[in-house]
Structure 1
Amino acid sequence: MASEHPPLQTVEVDGVERQFPHGLTMLQALRTLNISVPTLCHDDRLTPVGECWVCAVEVSLPRGLPFSNRPACREPLRDGCSIRSGSASLDAFRRNLLEQLAARVAPEEMERFPDKALHRLLREFGVPARAGLDHPIAIDVSHPHIRVDMNRCIACRRCVRICDDLQGESVWHVFGRGDDLRIDTEGGLPLAKSPCVGCGACVDTCPTAALTDASAWHEPVPTEWTRTTCPYCGVGCKLEVGVAGDRIVATRPVIDAPSNKGHLCVKGRYAHGYVDAADRITVPKVRHDGRWRSTDWAEAITLAADGLRRVAAEHGPDAIGVLGSSRATNEENYLTQKFARVVIGTNNVDCCARVCHTPSAAALKHMLGTGVATNSFDDIEQAKTLLVVGANPLENHPVVGARIRQQAQRGAHLIVIDPRRTGLARIADVHLAPRPGTNVPLLNSLAHVLFAEDLVDRDFLAARVEGVEGLAAFMAPWTPERATQLSGVPADAIRRAARLYALERPAMALHGLGLTEHLQGTQGVMALIDLALLTGNLGRAGSGINPLRGQNNVQGAAVMGCDPGTLTGSVRLVDACQRFEAAWGVALPHKPGLNAVTMIDAAHAGKLKALYVIGYDIFASLANADVTAMALSKLDLVIVQDMFLNETANSFGHVFLPVVSSFEKDGTFMNSERRIQRVRRAVAPRGDSLSDAEVLCRLAGELGFGDQFRHTCAEAVWDEIRAVWPAVAGISYGRSSRHGLQWPCVDEYDPGTAVLHARRFANADKAKLEQVDYRPTTECTSEQYPFLLTTGRTLHHFNVGTMTGRTRQQLLRPTDTLDMHPYDAGQLDLRDDMPVRVESRHGEVVLPLRVSDAVAPGQLFATFHDPARMLNRLTGPVRDTVTSAPEYKVVAVRVRLA
């Protein structure tokens, strides 16, 4: 069949005939020729509108007709046309426009914000800024990160459009017309009182000083920019770090980055002040008689090594536990697990993946052969249906959350499974709100509907799935009505959700800790995989099972081998031990190791004597904090490696080893979509702090294993990883330097893998369905404890606040809160901001109350970011039956006025 369009268009550009593919604007075509055209209202992330006309070019349509000015940003390229990109008349036209706009620019602002688009053009055309310093419109400095001065606004509407089209918050609005046109928040609210989420996209796109970073008014202009990867959640946003005087003074998104598409969240853009926080520790410390004293690296390394050597000699190597860091690089986590196995001689090594998505990895590995996300973030824009289970990405993975919301607003169906009425739940086609702890009955009832209404993909099942008849029989009793009795979700909503997921394909499932941090976390993920297999929503673009990983490199930490049962590449010890022994030149331990949670059990029982904790505040993070404290207090040696004296170090540490932030070192992170991305040093290490890799190598050398830890740089470590893990052999530092690559990527010609399981599953041609029966949690309400509490993160903070708690994010969210439905608050005569005492069977905390209809009556929600509150005093000992992940999402409590 003939193509609808010829392959190329012929266009005359500045007197030279050129050829271009179809679908370009004139601006895009000219840029391919490196012809610079000025723009003001244009942003590559937005649909062109051509309002400012600064990008005007002279166009003849078709060639031979008189030339006329047309805005290049919105004008489509046409075969046979002629374009003049520059001329005396165009220069005069553009200069006239700029002279009018110069009245909105003050000379001082030209110097302070040289990269603002209007400021650059005024310099280029030699037009002087001529605005005075009077401000008839009051400057809004209410927001800690964003300064608003609408005296400088040129009404280009870029802020309005980017807030609508990229972030989706619709903070900025256009009011009035003509000379009375103004841009403001709804109701003229100060920005801090508006729905603004502080992403900074409006600042990033604004071509003037109308919207600026608040810090830019007291920080110097950056003198250099370094491209790196965000140190917060598992989205893996690429950003550029602006530095002046060896200090981070600004950050901005990488416009063409695949994971974030030129966007950042409030943390990635603004929460970097912890690098130079006043309480950052930059010299080693040791504790004597209960007090910390500063020392040098020689003494600290010697004391740490002597302590480890003594424990191993007296109690054996398995009396020592090692915890890697989800904030550290892939290279450093590789060295961490190598240190545990080669230097200490134990498989007691783990990381914080244990308490979040290890259930996801276990379920995916068991059923599909690979324990990672099956698809890419780009698949969001290809999905016809999005199923979000136990996740609140608008707050916890904000850039991905914004992409999900935008796809839904473009017409994709959205199903949300969450006890709370989250931001995505409010716009969902179907919101299924199960009682906490009842995910499995709900997911089983969805599978029941697929069988009962013949909504399964028979061709896919026949070709690629086993156990169909057995599962059909198992699911027969799991009617929506039965699920309603257990979960509280209406049966008709269950049927509607099942139909959408099965019929409106491709359907993409994304899930979070609301699915995994349960007694049946692993089984819950298995039940979700069943749904994808039954409907054929695997192995194709826009579909799949995709865990939204919490920390920046939690995926990488686990895959590097910070797991007691697996080596680098998530290969089982029993399958790959000989290969790694050959590579490392030593015999490896074969005894099964302890995970992070069972290490605490062993410490409590007196069997674990020493703990080496890298970048992980285990005391503040683990459930059942009082029991954790008792266990840690019994250890003979606790070595903490971090930037700050965290709660674990403060309460239980003996040796503290200070390390650098990700902005002070090189390496790679692995994001949720399996993308390996570069991390680059932007500033010098603070004080005497070292990278985690340097510390590990020094400690290994002190313990007699220097030959196995002679790594000169991060790239050398990565090349060793490539040698022992064939799935990343094709991902060199050179190839991953720009946008990173997704593994598997087996050689230098492999472009990487965006979608897993396209032809076969990793371990077999066919996947086997799992029959998951329901086992209720032991955390039940009673007359004494009438509420069910679930815990989670909030937009403005990250984990236990180690980083965000030392930034201006504190002004946006000073402490944790307890959310309660208005009905329950009324029954208890409680109001907003009242301090309330929350008591469970395991402990108690005091929190300020926040009355909210996001939670259902009888249910509560609290965040866990403030170590002063120590929310995990409330959470209990219940764990996932397969991986030991704690059940953070269900705890019975009572509430009273403090």
Structure 2
Amino acid sequence: MDNGTHYRTCHLCEAMCGVAIEVKDGHIASIKGDDNDPLSKGHICPKAVALQDLHEDPERLRQPMRKTASGWQKIGWDEAFDLVARRLHQTRKEYGRNSIGVYLGNPNVHNHGSLVATMPFLRAIGSQNRFSATSNDQLPHMLASLEMFGHQILFPIPDIDNTDLFICIGANPMASNGSLMTVPDVRGRLKALKQRGGKLVVIDPRRTETAKLADEFHFIRPGNDALLLMAMVNTLFEENLVDPGPAERLVKDLELLQLAAVPYTPEAVSGHTGIEAETIRDLARQLASTRKAALYSRMGTSTQAFGGLATWLAYCLNILTGKLDTVGGVLFTQPAIDLVALGAMSGQNGHFDKRRSRVRDLPEFAGEYPASTMADEILTPGDGQIRAFVTVAGNPVLSSPNGRRLEQAFEKLDFMVSVDYYLNETTRHADVILPPTAALERSHYDLIFSMFAVRNYAKYSEALFEPREDAKHDWQILLELAHRLEQQRKGGRLPLRSELGWRAFKQIGPDPILDLLLRSGPYGADTGPARKLLQPAVDLVMDILPERHPLRGLARLSPVNRQWNALPKGLSLSALRDNPHGVDLGPLQPSLPDRLFTRDGLIHLAPRRYLRDLGRLHKHLVSEPDDQLCLIGRRHVRSNNSWMHNSRRLVKGKDRCTLMLHPDDAERLGLAGGESAEVQGAGEAIVLPVEITPDIMPGVASMPHGWGHDRQGTGLSVASAHAGASINDVLEDNQIDQLSGTSVLNGQSVTVRVWRSGKQRHSA
């Protein structure tokens, strides 16, 4: 790589911050924010400097590794591919296609090459036993988008730059940099909100980093967000504050939602939530009376026992108060590569509960079963038992509930392969590890998170460094495995046409596909004189073909569609190369009804599966409030799940893997700050230091996720030296949101006691 400054997008979280990386003599000299990036405008968080640490980490694997009786050994790529394809094929041939399990970690969605190659790889595997981080994270949002708007990744995004009231519930964007809301420099944007006379309201069991900036903050008992939100819905109807605004003619089943909300008065839910009835009414009134307002919810509302209902109700509140599809409210994006419209065009809007898992009868979502049932499917004998497993850029031992049981399951497998460049707590169980190139050795375009950005935006980055001659990108690994699996299934030889197709796919890679999608999208290449000829043809196709006809979908996305006349044009891969800082495509704009993908073209305000689940919520409402100590997770701006902990500069400083307790709980339990506490859930017990703070609600304990690097046999010396403890060793994998199948990561009951070499003194 040439000396000088190179511009990229940081891929370590959803914020898509622009970075300026200075290279001298083939090495990174500095990493700074890119002042000319139109989305982030020079902002970066502390994680950005870890791009260098990840790239230069001497413990990052660079060659395939095979586990032997005497330890790990390096092998060549051909030998590794042959071994993996042969073993996976043998397993499928002997035990059936569902005998192979696959887990995809969330780094895959930051990687356009991996996204392009994943589908052919999964087709070649052929198994229904697929899992991902989705069911430990954003599944309730995807389900609500599918049920209400007709597409699983059509998310309403807060127009934070224009809103005057931002209500944040169960989210901490100051630490996460936004989530399902790509928003670099949250602090700066919230500061601007206040400068224009706006207001920030935060509702959370912990006074988070975001809450400390709030004008108004309220503690809420974990797992009760659905009750709070339903009481706000109740207030809107009772006080005649319902006004869907521009979306009114599109809203379906308003009366059903009104009827469903009747039992959930603010007085009825106050005891469970810990929020006064009049405060609940005031929250509803503020949302209704502020013209430019947005209610935003995330992990705290998603990953709990009523995560599906809570997320649905957050969407409902924005709709009922006229905030959907309005400037300053919540809006749908119009990205340069519109995966929502492309998916709908091919009938891939998403689906839910088309089949059920073998052991626990849990619903699939988008072809995946809940991650919480992975161990069940491996350990339970019978037809369809998983006997071989593939992980791609994931560490479920630390990121899924009951990690100890999951690692026991991995040890029972006949064969396991991991596509990963670390020997971590999960990949140590593999028989073969196939390490891909590091992020700075490949090109980058954010296919997914550009769809969630608070402004429409596109940016492409060339590879910063040339990979080693024998290195493979992750898309090359996945396509090669898929190709060889197809060959194995066909007896060692594919038909000539199929063989040539595979070879061509592997040759061109993801970037030409990216270029085609950019050119043919709404902001695509301006056809100049040809527009006069093409536009009538597009008009004709739009007029005469049925709504769901593929040609009509292509015509709709075409840059010569009259609908996109006001949008900037000329976008292509070469155009983005000429604009290394990125291209601002404009603010979010109202887009209904064109952006809806439901069959009837309406917003489904009260989908029946949510109404049915209200029976479970009502049982909770009429029960006595639980006084057990419950556990919630938390996020830190210097951490991202488990895979950033081998960076010295990110883990240095005081211990962040602590158990936060309110002073009243600490006194009752006889615990002092810094003292070790034993935390016992339905899973096993863990030990970690206590941090006493009034910033946590009484009756609640909090610890961060992604730690627990004390497992033997990993190759992460820095992480092991800052091991911490894994919250997922405490959490049980049989606790899920019964509506969506999402893991309950917030709100499980725990016992906390002083740790005195195993002696118990007090417990709760």
Give the aligned residue type for 1:820: L
1:337 aligned to 2:119?
yes
1:497 aligned to 2:264?
no
> By how many angstroms is 1:448 displaced?
1.0
Give the aligned residue type for 1:808: R
Give, in whole Å, the separation in 1 of the partners of 2:443 and 2:66. 28
> By how many angstroms is 1:862 displaced?
0.3
1:762 aligned to 2:600?
no
Check whether the contact 1:324–1:333 (CA below 8 A) recurs between aligned residues: no
Residue aligning to 1:633: 411
SS of corresponding position for 1:252: strand
Give the aligned residue type for 2:750: V
Residue aligning to 1:658: 435
Give, in whole Å, the separation in 2 of the partners of 1:591 and 1:462. 30
Give the aligned residue type for 1:654: D
Residue aligning to 1:393: 173
> By how many angstroms is 1:718 displaced?
2.8
> By how many angstroms is 1:895 displaced?
1.5
SS of corresponding position for 1:292: strand
Match of 2:191 among 385, 401, 406: 406
1:803 aligned to 2:644?
yes
Give, in whole Å, the separation in 2 of the partners of 1:295 and 1:273. 26
SS of corresponding position for 1:314: helix
> By how many angstroms is 1:810 displaced?
1.2
Residue aligning to 2:473: 691
Residue aligning to 1:479: 265
Give, in whole Å, the separation in 2 of the partners of 1:713 and 1:421. 46
Q: Structure 1 residues 639 and 319 mapped into 2: Cα distance closer, same or farther (>3 Å)?
A: same
Match of 2:99 among 319, 322, 325: 319
Check whether the contact 2:234–2:261 (CA below 8 A) recurs between aligned residues: yes
Match of 1:419 among 190, 200, 205: 205
> By how many angstroms is 1:350 displaced?
4.2
Residue aligning to 2:149: 368
Check whether the contact 1:393–1:400 (CA below 8 A) recurs between aligned residues: no
Give, in whole Å, the separation in 1 of the partners of 2:406 and 2:296. 32
Match of 1:890 among 736, 744, 747: 747
Give, in whole Å, the separation in 1 of the partners of 2:348 and 2:119. 12
SS of corresponding position for 1:250: strand
Larger radius of gyration: 1
Match of 1:794 among 636, 650, 663: 636
> By how many angstroms is 1:222 displaced?
9.5
Q: Structure 1 residues 810 and 546 mapped into 2: Cα distance closer, same or farther (>3 Å)?
A: farther
> By how many angstroms is 1:407 displaced?
3.3
Give, in whole Å, the separation in 2 of the partners of 1:659 and 1:858. 45
Match of 2:508 among 712, 716, 721: 712
SS of corresponding position for 1:267: helix
Residue aligning to 2:42: 262
Give, in whole Å, the separation in 1 of the partners of 2:509 and 2:700. 51
Residue aligning to 1:873: 729
TM-score by length of 1: 0.66
Residue aligning to 1:114: none
TM-score by length of 2: 0.77
Residue aligning to 2:694: 853
Check whether the contact 2:247–2:592 (CA below 8 A) recurs between aligned residues: no
Check whether the contact 2:132–2:368 (CA below 8 A) recurs between aligned residues: no
Check whether the contact 2:44–2:185 (CA below 8 A) recurs between aligned residues: no
1:733 aligned to 2:573?
yes
Give, in whole Å, the separation in 1 of the partners of 2:149 and 2:91. 41
> By how many angstroms is 1:658 displaced?
1.0
Residue aligning to 1:245: 25
Q: Structure 1 residues 325 and 380 mapped into 2: Cα distance closer, same or farther (>3 Å)?
A: same
Give, in whole Å, the separation in 1 of the partners of 2:680 and 2:238. 44
Check whether the contact 1:346–1:593 (CA below 8 A) recurs between aligned residues: no
Give the aligned residue type for 1:894: T
**Identity of matched residues, %:** 24
Deviates more, 1:865-874 or 1:358-367: 865-874
Give, in whole Å, the separation in 2 of the partners of 1:383 and 1:298. 55
Check whether the contact 1:226–1:680 (CA below 8 A) recurs between aligned residues: no
Check whether the contact 2:257–2:605 (CA below 8 A) recurs between aligned residues: yes
User: What root-mean-square deviation, in Å, do the aligned CA atoms of Structure 1 and Structure 2 show?
Assistant: 3.6
> By how many angstroms is 1:254 displaced?
2.1
SS of corresponding position for 2:751: strand
> By how many angstroms is 1:872 displaced?
0.6
Q: Structure 1 residues 629 and 756 mapped into 2: Cα distance closer, same or farther (>3 Å)?
A: farther
Q: Structure 1 residues 568 and 740 mapped into 2: Cα distance closer, same or farther (>3 Å)?
A: farther
Give, in whole Å, the separation in 1 of the partners of 2:265 and 2:624. 27
> By how many angstroms is 1:633 displaced?
2.2
Residue aligning to 1:434: 220
Residue aligning to 2:231: 445
Give, in whole Å, the separation in 1 of the partners of 2:459 and 2:283. 36
Q: Structure 1 residues 486 and 620 mapped into 2: Cα distance closer, same or farther (>3 Å)?
A: same
> By how many angstroms is 1:835 displaced?
1.7
> By how many angstroms is 1:654 displaced?
0.6
> By how many angstroms is 1:259 displaced?
3.1
> By how many angstroms is 1:851 displaced?
1.0
Residue aligning to 2:379: 604
Give the aligned residue type for 2:190: R
Give the aligned residue type for 1:698: E
Residue aligning to 2:539: none
SS of corresponding position for 1:360: helix
Check whether the contact 2:151–2:340 (CA below 8 A) recurs between aligned residues: no
SS of corresponding position for 1:792: coil
Question: Can you list the C-alpha shifts for 1:860-886, whole angstroms capped at 9, x where unaligned?
Answer: 110023232222111122112243221
Give, in whole Å, the separation in 2 of the partners of 1:560 and 1:814. 46
> By how many angstroms is 1:784 displaced?
13
Q: Structure 1 residues 509 and 338 mapped into 2: Cα distance closer, same or farther (>3 Å)?
A: farther
Residue aligning to 1:87: none
Check whether the contact 1:340–1:347 (CA below 8 A) recurs between aligned residues: no
Question: Can you list the C-alpha shifts for 1:559-582, whole angstroms capped at 9, x where unaligned?
Answer: 999xxxx998953479xxxxxxxx
Question: Can you list the C-alpha shifts for 1:270-306, whole angstroms capped at 9, x where unaligned?
Answer: 5531221131111110012272111111211111111
SS of corresponding position for 1:734: helix
Check whether the contact 2:246–2:325 (CA below 8 A) recurs between aligned residues: no
Q: Structure 1 residues 815 and 618 mapped into 2: Cα distance closer, same or farther (>3 Å)?
A: same
Asked which structure has the greater RCO (Cα within 8 Å, sep 6+), the reply is: 2
> By how many angstroms is 1:459 displaced?
5.0
Check whether the contact 2:226–2:310 (CA below 8 A) recurs between aligned residues: yes
Residue aligning to 2:460: 678
> By how many angstroms is 1:498 displaced?
0.9
> By how many angstroms is 1:678 displaced?
2.3
Give, in whole Å, the separation in 1 of the partners of 2:367 and 2:510. 29
SS of corresponding position for 2:106: coil
Q: Structure 1 residues 784 and 354 mapped into 2: Cα distance closer, same or farther (>3 Å)?
A: closer
> By how many angstroms is 1:791 displaced?
0.9
Match of 2:445 among 657, 663, 668: 668
> By how many angstroms is 1:622 displaced?
0.6
